[in-house]
Amino acid sequence: MTDSSALLAFPVQSEDRLRLSLRRLQSALDQQAAAVREFREEIGRLRHAALGLEDSVIGYRLALSGAAAQVADAQVAARQLQDSARALQAASQG
């Protein structure tokens, strides 16, 4: 069993209980304000990360678009070379 002297004494007077309750309420409000502040900071970091991701995606899309244009140009050049090769082959056979 526990020694009864180890128990915390509860304030007897109503003013003391009220002060204790108000201190605890203030402490809880301070903790809540700190949590809200931290939450807002994290939201700001998340926003910053999302903007960085958006920039990366835009850069990736631009790179893909440039690569697609180069592939299209290479395809045109390959067809022209193929047509030239066929024309040379036909000229050498005929």
**Mean predicted confidence (pLDDT) in 74-79:** 97
pLDDT at 27 over 90: yes
**Mean predicted confidence (pLDDT) in 8-30:** 86
The answer to the question of residue 8 being in a domain is no
The answer to the question of residue 4 being in a domain is no
Domain count, the chain: 1
CA distances from 42 to 9, 48, 56, 92 (A): 41, 10, 21, 74
pLDDT at 46 over 80: yes
State the average pLDDT for the chain: 90
The answer to the question of residue 86 being in a domain is yes
pLDDT at 4: 57
pTM across the whole model: 0.54
Selection from 46, 45, 26, 22 nearest residue 34 by Cα? 26
The answer to the question of residue 34 being in a domain is yes
Tokens 């193929």 belong to 82
The answer to the question of residue 62 being in a domain is yes
The answer to the question of residue 9 being in a domain is no
The residue range of the domain holding 87 is 15-93
Residue 19 tokens, joined = 């002060």
Q: Are 35 and 41 in contact (CB under 8 A)?
A: no
Q: Is 23 helix (H, G, I), strand (E, B) or coil?
A: helix
pLDDT at 10 over 80: no
